[in-house]
Amino acid sequence: MTAASGLAVENTAKPPVFWAPLLRDAILAALVAVLLALPLVGLQTYDVGGGALGIRTHFDWVAWAGAAVFAGRFALRVLRQRYDARPMGETKHFAFLAVWAARQAVPLTLVGVAFAVMLPFLPFSSRYLVDLGTTVLIYVMLGWGLNVVVGLAGLLDLGYVAFYAVGAYTFALLARDLGFSFWEALPFSGLVAASFGVILGFPVLRLRGDYLAIVTLGFGEIIRIVLLNWASLTGGPNGISDIPRPSFFGLPFSRSAPEGVTTFHQFFGLEFSPEHRVVFLYFVILAMALVTNAFTLRIRKLPVGRAWEALREDELACRALGINPTTVKLSAFAIGAMFGGLAGCFFATRQGFISPESFTFIESATILAIVVLGGMGSQLGVVLAAILLVTLPEFGRAFAEFRMLIFGAAMVGVMVWRPRGLIAHRAPTLRLGLQPATR
Amino acid sequence: MTAVREPVPLLAVENLTMRFGGLVAVDDVSFTAYRDEITAIIGPNGAGKTTVFNCLTGFYRPSAGKLVMHKGGELLRLERIEGFRIARRAGIARTFQNIRLFAGMTVLENLMVAQHAPLMKASAISLAGLLALPRYRRAERAAIERGRHWLERTGLTEQADWLAAALPYGAQRRLEIARALCTGPTLLCLDEPAAGLNPRESHELNDLLRSVREEHGLSILLIEHDMGVVMGISDHIVVLDYGRKISDGSPEFVRNDQAVIAAYLGVDEEAVEEVEAEVQL
């Protein structure tokens, strides 16, 4: 055999597997799993009777957890070494998905919008499904709003729910104290939330990354705690109830109306059905979300949008080019907050009742997860991630207590296979069109 | 001076001092850059060259001294202008020693960001832009044209839609210069533009800078280590060492200045001839 053919054989052979580090790694992972499982799985409280609690131990379960993690980790590493020599985090699985989605953006959008419009009228549709669709769309809108701040301007905001709360409470208070209807209050909700965005923006102008995240997290909590404690204005933990429902150009969706007011079903000569309002709410949020999307897509191609992205890439270079980082950041915070506020206004009218309970940190985390999972800056990714994050726990109901487990596994899966998000693809805002853009 | 014309001062640096705590990075430096000239600032590492640049472009506020820019008959005091406004008010554009491009954006987008201010004005705080009014569309087309012009001049037209990060090193340097030129500056400050370029690329850079100066009436302030570039294109050289100005004049003058040679060789002025004899210079 010549040297050349020997080399060729070398190249085609599978890379060797190094067992020792694999074993060490798997044992370490198993140890961590056992440590975690010991209090979480290994100890179980039960009622001994008379209100006292006893502790039951399940060390066999802990052992199983350890063994499962060991086997899983070991198998994963072996497969990785054998078939995929690339280091972790650089995986490009399903990259075709992102490229395909970017290329087919227009038809995909059309199909998606058409499906969303027809959803309430499809044969398998139900009140439950339309309600779920409404929830998904609220999160899509919030995701798109947060995408402006996080995805475009690169400002990590962990307190986005604050603007959602501000929008909701603005409407609730305007309705309770001044008798505003949903449509009258909607612009105010957006404006007030945008002002809060600017108020938050000022103190954090110099912060970036982790530091910014901590401050915004604090801001989110401040808003929630103020709402909780300022009982004379916000009703505290009791919240605000009897928030008016939206009307269809002045026609209310109620069974009967006071003298002189025509209801929706009377006007159109329909049998009264509570589903009319559900479907109407669905269309309202669909329209609001689509406006959000159109606005974001357009503003991205404007100087402001490009400045947001440039600021994310390099703030110093922006200054050297005469861009004022202050106004650019504040505008990103304001626009993002405005959409949060509009979504909050809708949330209030949909629920008819709001309390600080609805605006906890977990909401911020969910919205951020939607943006990150979808792929920072990707509008389509946000939709996919919102559908995934909202519907998965719902469909998981059949699995009872394993529901969150499935949810967690799905998140881990996405992060393993698509570490930069489902659709991590940035389309240029303009092209000279001489050569196709690389990557 | 090569030409007979009378040099017109453009930027006067007067007694500039920059202190960082106890460290004096720039110590009482004064020099003048003239209109339509290429002025080079040279000196060993740590001489304070980039600090001078950072003061000029508003990244640092000088501890003492005056920075006077002559612009359209007006005298602008740079140290009194807010950092990010200097680019627009005084017409000073700069590049960075370690390239600072908008890596995740395309080459053309980088050039569009550089034209933020005029585009922003045309878009009327985005309102005209959102509605795609003709006046915004005109401004956008003009911005793209200007971008295309500088892409052609820097030889990047083919790569216009590439991500800036995907460009090879030399092209990234050229893109940074093109981006600075897109702001339509009066004074272009280049911080080591030839660093990391091969001889052919730095030769092309020389040609580019020279032709840009002639065609666009641009003055250039240059920090450079590559003596081929410096001696080849500079009209006027300022030499810094340990934050002090040690020499100032034409390339011929500076080349033969004992103090400069001493600073570069790292010896006392008296020992220069000795060392030169040793290394057979």
According to the model, what pLDDT value does residue B173 have? 92
Higher pLDDT, A438 or A296: A296
| 3-state DSSP assignment of residue B161 | coil
CB of B163 within 8 Å of any CB in chain A? yes
Cβ contacts of residue A278 below 8 Å, gap of 6+? A127, A130, A131, A134
Report the 10 Å Cβ neighbour count for A400: 7
Confidence at A376, pLDDT banded by 50, 70, 90: confident
Nearest to A313 among B58, B102, B115 (CB): B102
Nearest to A317 among B102, B144, B160 (CB): B102
User: How many interface pairs between A and B have CB atoms less than 8 angstroms apart?
Assistant: 139
Distance to chain A for B110, nearest Cα, Å: 8
Q: Which residues of A touch B116 (CB under 8 A)?
A: 303, 306-307, 310, 321-323
Q: Which residues of A touch B (CB under 8 A)?
A: 295, 298-299, 302-304, 306-307, 309-310, 312-314, 316-325, 426, 428-439
Higher pLDDT, A181 or A402: A181
What's the whole-number mean pLDDT along residues A423-433?
78
- Nearest chain A Cα to B131, which residue? A298
CB of B157 within 8 Å of any CB in chain A? yes
Lowest mean pLDDT among A254-268, A349-363, A373-387: A254-268
Structure tokens, A307: 């400045």
User: What domains appear along chain A, each with residue ranges and CATH number?
Assistant: 15-85 (no CATH), 99-247+273-417 (1.10.3470)
- Mean pLDDT of all residues belonging to chain B: 87
Distance to chain A for B157, nearest Cα, Å: 8
According to the model, what pLDDT value does residue A256 have? 74
Distance to chain A for B155, nearest Cα, Å: 14
According to the model, what pLDDT value does residue B203 have? 87
According to the model, what pLDDT value does residue B230 have? 86
CB of B119 within 8 Å of any CB in chain A? yes
Q: Which residues of A touch B114 (CB under 8 A)?
A: 321
Q: Using an 8 Å Cβ cutoff, are A223 and A166 in contact?
A: yes
Structure tokens, A270: 């329909």
CA distance A162 to A356: 10
According to the model, what pLDDT value does residue A293 have? 93
| A287-334 pLDDT tens trace | 999 999 999 999 998 999 999 999 999 999 999 999 999 999 999 999
Q: Which residues of A touch B180 (CB under 8 A)?
A: 320-321
Structure tokens, A402: 């394993």
Q: Which residues between 89 and 108 in chain B have a beta carbon less than 8 angstroms from any beta carbon of chain A? A: 93-94, 96, 100-106, 108
- Report the predicted TM-score, pTM, of the whole model to 2 decimal places: 0.82
Confidence at A85, pLDDT banded by 50, 70, 90: low
| A331-344 pLDDT tens trace | 999 999 999 999 99
Whole-number percent of chain A with pLDDT over 70:
89
The verdict on a CB contact (< 8 Å) between A428 and B161 is yes
Nearest to A425 by CA among B147, B104, B150: B104
Helix spans in A301-432 (H): 303-313, 315-320, 325-351, 361-374, 379-395, 403-417
Whole-number percent of chain B with pLDDT over 90:
38
Axis-axis angle for helices B169-182, B107-114 (nearest 10): 30
- Nearest chain A Cα to B178, which residue? A321
Residues lower than pLDDT 50 in chain B: 1-3
According to the model, what pLDDT value does residue A52 have? 83
Nearest to B166 among A317, A318, A438 (CB): A438
pLDDT at A3 over 50: no
- Nearest chain A Cα to B119, which residue? A303
